[in-house]
A and B are shown apart, each in its own frame.
Chain A
Amino acid sequence: MLVKIRRASDIKQSEITSQSDYLKRRQFLKAGVSAFAGLGLMRAGIGEAAIQRGPGKLEKIANIRETAYRPPEAITEYEHITTYNNFYEFGTGKSDPHRNAGTLKPRPWTVVVDGECEAPGEIGIEDILSGFTQEERIYRFRCVEAWSMVIPWVGVPLADLLKRFKPTSGAKYVAFQTLNDPEQMPGQRLPVLDWPYREGLRIDEAMHPLTLMATGLYGEVLPNQNGAPLRLVVPWKYGFKSIKSIVRISFTKREPEATWNMQNPREYGFYSNVNPEVDHPRWSQKYHRIIGAGLFAGKEKTQLFNGYGEEVAGLYAGMDLRKHF
C-alpha cells in the first residue's frame, strides 16, 4: 500500500489540540471509563480511545494498546515535538528537520537484519506495523543538550522485533544504521558527521523491556523529522542514542561504532546514560529545561537514568558510570 505522507508543516495552528485540552479530554475519558465500569458495560475500545492522538494529518495507527508507561509529567505538545529536532541529516538547526524532511520517502521501507543471528533477513515497515502489537509508551526524553520532552510514542518492544531473527550467543551488541541517501537526506551532502549515522546498544540494553522500536507519535505514523518510519527510543539514555530512520540492524560480537562517540569520544560515551553527576565537558547535566514549560519556568533537576533507574540500574551493576559514561 502506498501511503501519502504529508509534511507536518501542513498543520494549521487551529488544528492542534492544546495541551490543556488533552488533559481535559483525558479527565473526561477517565470519568467515562469509570462510568461505564460502574454500569457494568463492556469496556472494549475504551483503552483505544484514550490513546494520545495527533492532529490527524498523518496516517493513524490502528489498534494501539495502552500501557502503564506514562509518567506524571505533562505530555509535550505535538507541535513542539515535531518542530524542535536534532536530525542533522536535514540540517543542523533545530527547525531545519521540520522544514527540510519532506524529501524523505518513508514508504516503502525495508530494514536489513544481519550479523550474529540464526535467521538474518529483511523486514518491511508494513510487516512491523501489522505483525506486532503496537503499544503506546509515554516516555521522558532527555537530550544531551540539557532539554527534555515527554513524548507519547507508539511502537514495538525492540526485544520482540529482534527475537524474530534469532540472535545467537555471539550477539553481544546490536548495531543500528540510518539511511544514507543525500537525495532524501540533503544534510548528508555536508561532512558535519561521518555518515551514515550509527548507534549501538549492548544486547541486554537492546532486549530491555523499556527499549522501544518506535513507529509512531501521538497515535500516528512518525513524522519524517522525528525519524520516520522507524526509530529507536531508549528513554534512559541521551536522545542521540535513539537513532532515527533505521535501515540496518546488526548483531555484533564487539562494541559497534556510534556516530557521536566517534565524533568526540571525550564528550560522548558509548553508553551515554542520562547522569546528572557526569557533566558534558562543556556544560552541566545537573538540570534540564522542559520544552513547552514557558519562558520563565526555570529548569528541573535531572534524574539518574532519566528517572528510569528502578528498571535499568541493574544493567550497570558494578560499573563505574564516570568511566563508562
Chain B
Amino acid sequence: MPSLQQRIRWSKPVIFLACLLPLCLLVLRAVNNDLGANPVEALTHDTGDWALRFLLISLAVTPLRMLTGMSWLIRYRRMLGLFAFFYALVHFAIYLWIDQGFLWSEIIADILKRPYITLGFAAFLILVPLAVTSTKGMVRRLGKRWITLHRLVYASALLGILHFVWLVKADYREPGLYLLIFLLLMLFRIPPLRRRFQHA
C-alpha cells in the first residue's frame, strides 16, 4: 500500500494534465477549423470560462477540507490556483493579440472606458502578484503576510465574475451560477461559520 505522500506525488502529474485538457481541446478545435463562425469569440469565451472555473475550484479546496476532513487536498491548491492564472493569462493574451491585434490605443481606451473590460483587467492584475508569490520560498519569506496577500484572490474571483455578468446582454443564468457558487464558497470564510465547520 503506497503512502499518502506517494499517492499525492503520483497524482499531481495526472491532475496537471487534466487541467491542461481544456486548452488541448481548444487548440485541437482551432487546428481543425472547428471553432465555428466566430473563432475569436470562441477562444476568448472558452479561456475566460476556464479561468473562472479554476478560480472557483481553487476556492473550493478549503470548504471541501472542512466538510470532509481530507486535509491533504490543500496539496493541490497551488496548482489549481496557478491554472486559474494560466487560463486568465491566455484569455488576456488572446484579447490583446487576436481580438485587438495589439492596437494599443484601442486596448487602453477599452480598459478605461468599458466597465466590463476594466473589471476583467483588474481581476487579472490581482492574480499576477499571487502567481509570483506562489513559490515555496516566497511563502516562507512572506510568512503571515502571505495569507493576507493571498486573500486578494476573493476580490479577483468576484471581479472576474462581475466581468462576465456585465458583458451579457440578457441571459444571466451562467454568470449568475458562477456568482452563486462564489458566494456559497465565501460563506466558509465567515469566521463564525468557519469555526463551526472546523470543529465539526
Contacts and interface: CB of A to CB of B under 8 A. Distances in A.
Nearest to B39: A295
A262 to B, nearest CB: 11
A291 B37 CA distance: 6
Given A282-B167, A291-B37, A298 B101 contact: yes
Interface stretch (B13-21, B80-88, B110-118): B110-118
Interface of A: 79-80, 83-84, 88, 92, 94-95, 145, 147, 190, 192-193, 263, 282-284, 286-287, 289, 291-292, 294-296, 298-299
Contacts of B169: 92, 145
B30 A88 contact: no
Interface centre among B36, B106, B116, B167 (most CB of A within 10 A): B36
Contacts of A263: 170
B2 to A, nearest CB: 45
B167 A88 contact: no
A284 B170 contact: no
Contacts of B40: 289, 295
B39 A84 contact: no
Interface in B39-87: 39-41, 43
7 contacts: A192-B170, A282-B166, A283-B114, A295-B30, A295-B40, A295-B43, A298-B101
Q: How large is the interface on B (under 10, 10 to 19, 20 to 34, 35 or more residues)?
A: 20 to 34
Interface of B: 30, 35-41, 43, 98, 101, 106, 109-110, 114-116, 166-167, 169-171
A52 B99 CA distance: 31
Given A83-B37, A192-B170, 18 more contacts: A83-B36, A84-B36, A84-B37, A92-B170, A94-B36, A94-B41, A95-B36, A147-B41, A263-B170, A282-B114, A284-B114, A286-B106, A291-B38, A294-B39, A295-B35, A295-B40, A295-B43, A298-B101
B53 to A, nearest CB: 17
B171 A192 contact: yes
Contacts, number: 53
Nearest to A280: B114
Contact of B170 (A88, A283, A298): A88
Contacts of A283: 114
B109 A284 contact: yes
Nearest to A91: B171
Given A84-B36, A284-B110, A291-B37, A299 B170 contact: no
A291 B110 CA distance: 22
Contacts of B106: 284, 286-287
B115 to A, nearest CB: 7
A94 B30 CA distance: 18
Contacts of A193: 170
Contacts of B167: 282
B171 A147 contact: no
Contacts of B110: 284
Contacts of B109: 284
A294 B39 CA distance: 7
B48 to A, nearest CB: 15
A282 B115 contact: yes
A317 B166 CA distance: 35
